[in-house]
Amino acid sequence: MPTPPIIIIKKKGGHGGHHGGAWKVAYADFVTAMMALFIVLWLLSSATKQEKMAISGYFKDPSGTATKLGTTMAGSGENIQLSKEDMAKLKDQLQKSIQKMIDLEKLKKNIEMTVTSEGLRIELIESEKGTFFDSGSAQLNGNGKELLTVLAAELGKVPNHISVEGHTDAKPFSGKSNYTNWELSSDRANAARRLMQADGGLRPDQVTQVRGFADQRLRNAQDPLDPANRRVSIIVQYIHNNIDEADSSANKTEPGEKPAAGTKTEPESEVKTNDKKNAEEKK
Protein backbone atom coordinates (compact mmCIF):
# COMPACT_ATOMS: atom_id res chain seq x y z
CA MET A 1 0.00 0.00 0.00
CA PRO A 2 1.54 3.38 -1.08
CA THR A 3 2.51 5.89 1.54
CA PRO A 4 0.09 8.88 1.57
CA PRO A 5 1.68 12.30 0.83
CA ILE A 6 2.53 14.47 3.77
CA ILE A 7 1.00 17.99 3.54
CA ILE A 8 2.52 20.69 5.76
CA ILE A 9 0.45 23.85 6.29
CA LYS A 10 2.35 26.92 7.53
CA LYS A 11 0.43 29.80 9.03
CA LYS A 12 1.83 33.34 8.86
CA GLY A 13 1.70 35.22 12.10
CA GLY A 14 0.97 38.96 12.71
CA HIS A 15 -1.41 41.29 10.84
CA GLY A 16 -2.34 41.18 7.19
CA GLY A 17 -0.05 42.69 4.55
CA HIS A 18 -0.41 46.26 3.23
CA HIS A 19 -1.95 47.13 -0.12
CA GLY A 20 1.19 48.43 -1.83
CA GLY A 21 2.40 52.08 -2.18
CA ALA A 22 -0.45 53.50 -4.28
CA TRP A 23 -1.80 55.44 -1.29
CA LYS A 24 1.49 57.34 -1.01
CA VAL A 25 1.13 58.66 -4.56
CA ALA A 26 -2.43 59.76 -3.92
CA TYR A 27 -1.42 61.43 -0.66
CA ALA A 28 1.47 63.25 -2.34
CA ASP A 29 -0.88 64.56 -5.04
CA PHE A 30 -3.30 65.75 -2.37
CA VAL A 31 -0.58 67.57 -0.41
CA THR A 32 0.75 69.20 -3.61
CA ALA A 33 -2.72 70.40 -4.57
CA MET A 34 -3.28 71.83 -1.09
CA MET A 35 0.05 73.63 -1.19
CA ALA A 36 -0.78 75.15 -4.58
CA LEU A 37 -4.19 76.24 -3.25
CA PHE A 38 -2.69 78.00 -0.24
CA ILE A 39 -0.08 79.72 -2.43
CA VAL A 40 -2.82 81.06 -4.72
CA LEU A 41 -4.87 82.22 -1.72
CA TRP A 42 -1.82 83.94 -0.28
CA LEU A 43 -1.11 85.71 -3.58
CA LEU A 44 -4.71 86.85 -3.90
CA SER A 45 -4.75 88.26 -0.38
CA SER A 46 -2.00 90.77 -1.20
CA ALA A 47 -2.51 91.22 -4.96
CA THR A 48 -3.83 94.29 -6.73
CA LYS A 49 -6.94 94.22 -8.87
CA GLN A 50 -4.92 93.85 -12.08
CA GLU A 51 -2.82 91.02 -10.63
CA LYS A 52 -5.97 89.18 -9.55
CA MET A 53 -7.33 89.52 -13.10
CA ALA A 54 -4.06 88.16 -14.50
CA ILE A 55 -4.12 85.15 -12.17
CA SER A 56 -7.76 84.54 -13.03
CA GLY A 57 -6.93 84.75 -16.74
CA TYR A 58 -4.20 82.15 -16.38
CA PHE A 59 -6.52 79.61 -14.73
CA LYS A 60 -9.18 80.27 -17.36
CA ASP A 61 -6.69 79.76 -20.17
CA PRO A 62 -3.44 78.15 -18.93
CA SER A 63 -2.35 77.23 -22.45
CA GLY A 64 -2.29 80.87 -23.51
CA THR A 65 -4.19 80.32 -26.75
CA ALA A 66 -7.09 82.67 -26.03
CA THR A 67 -7.14 86.44 -25.62
CA LYS A 68 -8.00 86.50 -21.93
CA LEU A 69 -6.04 88.78 -19.66
CA GLY A 70 -3.08 86.95 -18.30
CA THR A 71 -2.39 84.80 -21.37
CA THR A 72 -0.07 87.25 -23.09
CA MET A 73 1.99 88.25 -20.09
CA ALA A 74 5.69 88.80 -20.57
CA GLY A 75 7.90 88.95 -17.54
CA SER A 76 6.20 90.66 -14.61
CA GLY A 77 2.88 91.75 -16.04
CA GLU A 78 3.89 93.91 -18.97
CA ASN A 79 0.37 94.18 -20.38
CA ILE A 80 -1.36 95.05 -17.09
CA GLN A 81 -2.55 98.62 -17.36
CA LEU A 82 -3.13 101.11 -14.60
CA SER A 83 -6.78 102.00 -14.13
CA LYS A 84 -8.05 105.43 -13.11
CA GLU A 85 -8.05 104.36 -9.46
CA ASP A 86 -4.47 103.12 -9.77
CA MET A 87 -3.46 106.41 -11.39
CA ALA A 88 -4.67 108.19 -8.27
CA LYS A 89 -2.57 105.83 -6.14
CA LEU A 90 0.43 106.45 -8.39
CA LYS A 91 -0.13 110.19 -7.97
CA ASP A 92 -0.05 109.82 -4.16
CA GLN A 93 3.07 107.66 -4.36
CA LEU A 94 4.86 110.21 -6.54
CA GLN A 95 3.91 113.03 -4.19
CA LYS A 96 5.33 111.11 -1.25
CA SER A 97 8.57 110.51 -3.14
CA ILE A 98 8.82 114.17 -4.11
CA GLN A 99 8.24 115.20 -0.49
CA LYS A 100 11.63 113.74 0.34
CA MET A 101 13.28 116.40 -1.81
CA ILE A 102 15.05 119.13 0.15
CA ASP A 103 13.48 122.13 -1.58
CA LEU A 104 9.95 120.78 -1.97
CA GLU A 105 8.32 123.72 -0.17
CA LYS A 106 9.45 126.24 -2.76
CA LEU A 107 8.58 123.88 -5.63
CA LYS A 108 5.03 122.97 -4.56
CA LYS A 109 3.35 125.56 -6.76
CA ASN A 110 5.48 124.52 -9.72
CA ILE A 111 4.48 120.82 -9.67
CA GLU A 112 0.94 119.80 -10.55
CA MET A 113 -0.44 116.29 -11.01
CA THR A 114 -3.91 115.57 -12.36
CA VAL A 115 -5.68 112.41 -13.53
CA THR A 116 -7.10 113.17 -16.98
CA SER A 117 -8.70 111.21 -19.82
CA GLU A 118 -5.19 110.52 -21.19
CA GLY A 119 -3.78 109.28 -17.90
CA LEU A 120 -1.75 110.89 -15.13
CA ARG A 121 -0.46 114.30 -16.27
CA ILE A 122 2.53 115.69 -14.39
CA GLU A 123 3.19 119.38 -15.08
CA LEU A 124 6.56 120.97 -14.30
CA ILE A 125 5.67 124.66 -14.41
CA GLU A 126 8.31 127.33 -14.86
CA SER A 127 8.51 130.59 -12.95
CA GLU A 128 9.62 133.96 -14.29
CA LYS A 129 13.27 133.33 -13.35
CA GLY A 130 13.22 129.66 -14.33
CA THR A 131 12.54 126.75 -11.99
CA PHE A 132 13.58 123.58 -13.81
CA PHE A 133 15.37 125.00 -16.85
CA ASP A 134 17.75 127.89 -17.26
CA SER A 135 15.87 130.88 -18.65
CA GLY A 136 15.58 130.71 -22.44
CA SER A 137 17.54 127.44 -22.51
CA ALA A 138 16.91 123.71 -22.85
CA GLN A 139 19.53 123.08 -20.15
CA LEU A 140 18.10 121.51 -16.96
CA ASN A 141 19.17 123.12 -13.68
CA GLY A 142 19.65 121.38 -10.33
CA ASN A 143 15.96 121.37 -9.40
CA GLY A 144 14.98 119.94 -12.77
CA LYS A 145 17.57 117.17 -12.65
CA GLU A 146 16.68 116.17 -9.09
CA LEU A 147 12.93 116.10 -9.68
CA LEU A 148 13.10 114.22 -12.99
CA THR A 149 15.43 111.64 -11.45
CA VAL A 150 12.88 110.99 -8.68
CA LEU A 151 10.02 110.74 -11.18
CA ALA A 152 11.98 108.41 -13.46
CA ALA A 153 12.75 106.02 -10.57
CA GLU A 154 9.04 105.71 -9.75
CA LEU A 155 7.60 105.74 -13.28
CA GLY A 156 10.10 103.13 -14.42
CA LYS A 157 8.26 100.63 -12.19
CA VAL A 158 4.92 100.94 -14.02
CA PRO A 159 4.21 99.12 -17.31
CA ASN A 160 2.45 102.02 -19.03
CA HIS A 161 3.91 104.08 -21.83
CA ILE A 162 4.86 107.72 -21.30
CA SER A 163 4.80 110.81 -23.48
CA VAL A 164 6.67 114.05 -22.85
CA GLU A 165 5.49 117.48 -24.01
CA GLY A 166 7.20 120.87 -24.08
CA HIS A 167 5.32 124.19 -23.95
CA THR A 168 6.32 127.86 -24.02
CA ASP A 169 4.59 131.19 -23.54
CA ALA A 170 3.77 133.50 -26.47
CA LYS A 171 6.84 135.67 -26.07
CA PRO A 172 9.00 135.24 -29.20
CA PHE A 173 12.34 133.58 -28.56
CA SER A 174 15.24 135.98 -28.91
CA GLY A 175 18.89 135.14 -29.38
CA LYS A 176 19.02 133.02 -32.53
CA SER A 177 17.44 133.98 -35.80
CA ASN A 178 16.72 130.38 -36.81
CA TYR A 179 15.69 129.18 -33.31
CA THR A 180 12.08 129.69 -32.18
CA ASN A 181 9.69 128.57 -29.45
CA TRP A 182 9.05 125.45 -31.50
CA GLU A 183 12.66 124.35 -31.18
CA LEU A 184 12.84 125.41 -27.53
CA SER A 185 9.73 123.47 -26.49
CA SER A 186 10.88 120.37 -28.38
CA ASP A 187 14.41 120.56 -27.00
CA ARG A 188 13.16 120.91 -23.42
CA ALA A 189 10.87 117.91 -23.78
CA ASN A 190 13.70 115.88 -25.27
CA ALA A 191 16.11 116.98 -22.52
CA ALA A 192 13.61 115.74 -19.92
CA ARG A 193 13.22 112.45 -21.80
CA ARG A 194 16.98 111.99 -22.09
CA LEU A 195 17.58 112.47 -18.36
CA MET A 196 14.66 110.25 -17.32
CA GLN A 197 15.93 107.38 -19.46
CA ALA A 198 19.48 107.67 -18.12
CA ASP A 199 20.90 105.53 -15.29
CA GLY A 200 18.17 102.89 -15.29
CA GLY A 201 15.19 105.23 -14.92
CA LEU A 202 12.56 104.82 -17.63
CA ARG A 203 12.86 101.76 -19.85
CA PRO A 204 14.24 102.34 -23.38
CA ASP A 205 10.85 101.49 -24.94
CA GLN A 206 8.71 103.26 -22.34
CA VAL A 207 8.66 106.73 -23.92
CA THR A 208 6.54 106.67 -27.07
CA GLN A 209 6.25 110.39 -27.85
CA VAL A 210 8.30 113.56 -27.40
CA ARG A 211 6.39 116.60 -28.63
CA GLY A 212 6.92 120.35 -28.72
CA PHE A 213 3.86 122.62 -28.88
CA ALA A 214 5.49 126.06 -28.54
CA ASP A 215 2.69 128.47 -27.48
CA GLN A 216 -0.19 126.56 -29.12
CA ARG A 217 -1.54 125.06 -25.87
CA LEU A 218 -1.37 127.84 -23.33
CA ARG A 219 -2.03 126.98 -19.72
CA ASN A 220 -3.27 130.51 -19.10
CA ALA A 221 -4.94 131.59 -22.33
CA GLN A 222 -6.01 134.90 -20.74
CA ASP A 223 -2.37 135.89 -20.37
CA PRO A 224 -0.25 134.36 -23.17
CA LEU A 225 2.91 135.86 -21.64
CA ASP A 226 2.34 134.26 -18.23
CA PRO A 227 5.51 132.32 -17.23
CA ALA A 228 3.23 129.44 -16.11
CA ASN A 229 2.64 128.73 -19.80
CA ARG A 230 6.27 127.57 -19.95
CA ARG A 231 6.20 123.97 -18.79
CA VAL A 232 7.09 120.36 -19.48
CA SER A 233 4.28 117.80 -19.23
CA ILE A 234 4.86 114.10 -18.52
CA ILE A 235 1.84 111.89 -19.26
CA VAL A 236 1.53 108.33 -17.96
CA GLN A 237 -0.84 106.92 -20.59
CA TYR A 238 -3.74 104.54 -20.01
CA ILE A 239 -3.30 102.97 -23.44
CA HIS A 240 -0.52 100.43 -24.05
CA ASN A 241 0.98 99.84 -27.50
CA ASN A 242 -1.56 102.18 -29.08
CA ILE A 243 -0.12 105.47 -30.23
CA ASP A 244 -2.90 106.28 -32.70
CA GLU A 245 -5.45 107.35 -30.10
CA ALA A 246 -2.95 109.54 -28.30
CA ASP A 247 -1.96 111.08 -31.63
CA SER A 248 -5.56 111.79 -32.57
CA SER A 249 -6.21 113.52 -29.26
CA ALA A 250 -2.99 115.48 -29.60
CA ASN A 251 -3.76 116.60 -33.14
CA LYS A 252 -7.37 117.50 -32.43
CA THR A 253 -7.83 121.28 -32.70
CA GLU A 254 -10.59 123.53 -31.49
CA PRO A 255 -12.13 126.21 -33.74
CA GLY A 256 -9.64 129.02 -34.09
CA GLU A 257 -6.78 126.97 -32.66
CA LYS A 258 -3.66 126.41 -34.74
CA PRO A 259 -2.73 122.77 -35.37
CA ALA A 260 0.11 121.29 -33.33
CA ALA A 261 3.57 120.71 -34.69
CA GLY A 262 3.72 117.89 -37.20
CA THR A 263 -0.03 117.97 -37.92
CA LYS A 264 -0.76 117.79 -41.63
CA THR A 265 -3.75 119.74 -42.94
CA GLU A 266 -5.06 119.92 -46.48
CA PRO A 267 -5.69 123.34 -48.05
CA GLU A 268 -9.40 124.18 -48.20
CA SER A 269 -9.34 124.56 -51.99
CA GLU A 270 -7.81 121.09 -52.36
CA VAL A 271 -10.47 119.56 -50.14
CA LYS A 272 -13.24 121.15 -52.19
CA THR A 273 -11.65 119.95 -55.42
CA ASN A 274 -11.47 116.39 -54.13
CA ASP A 275 -15.11 116.51 -53.01
CA LYS A 276 -16.20 117.77 -56.44
CA LYS A 277 -14.21 115.05 -58.19
CA ASN A 278 -15.78 112.34 -55.99
CA ALA A 279 -19.27 113.68 -56.73
CA GLU A 280 -18.64 113.56 -60.52
CA GLU A 281 -17.37 109.97 -60.28
CA LYS A 282 -20.52 108.91 -58.46
CA LYS A 283 -22.65 110.39 -61.27
Domain boundaries defined on the chain: 28-60, 84-243
What is the predicted pLDDT for the residue at 255?
A: 40
Mean pLDDT along residues 131-151: 88
Closest CA to 133 of 227, 222, 40, 53: 227
What pLDDT does residue 269 have?
41
Q: Residue 146 CB: number of other CB atoms within 10 A?
A: 17
Per the prediction, the chain carries an average pLDDT of 75
6 or 165, higher pLDDT: 165
Distance separating alpha carbons of residues 266 and 193, to the nearest angstrom = 32
Question: Does residue 243 register a pLDDT over 90?
Answer: no
**60-112 pLDDT, tens per residue?**
666 554 444 443 333 333 444 566 667 888 888 887 877 776 566 677 788 89
Task: Provide the pLDDT for residue 233.
Answer: 95
What local confidence, expressed as pLDDT, does residue 54 receive? Answer: 72
For the chain, state the CA radius of gyration: 33
Angle at 111 between CA 97 and CA 206, to 5 degrees: 65
Amino acid at 72: T
User: Helices 181-196 and 142-155 meet at what angle, rounded to 10?
Assistant: 50
Q: Which of 52-56, 102-106, 113-117, 196-200 has the lowest mean pLDDT?
A: 102-106
Encoded amino acid at 226, one letter: D
DSSP reduced 3-state for 84: helix
pLDDT tens digits for 183-226?
999 999 999 999 999 877 899 899 999 999 999 999 999 999 99
Third-level CATH fold of 84-243: 60s Ribosomal Protein L30; Chain: A; (3.30.1330)
Q: How far is CA 46 from CA 39, 52, 73, 125, in A?
A: 11, 9, 19, 37
Contact present, 147 and 98 (Cβ < 8 Å): yes
* CB-facing half-sphere around the CA of 143: CA atoms within 13 A: 18
pLDDT of residue 229: 92
Q: What is the pLDDT of residue 242?
A: 41
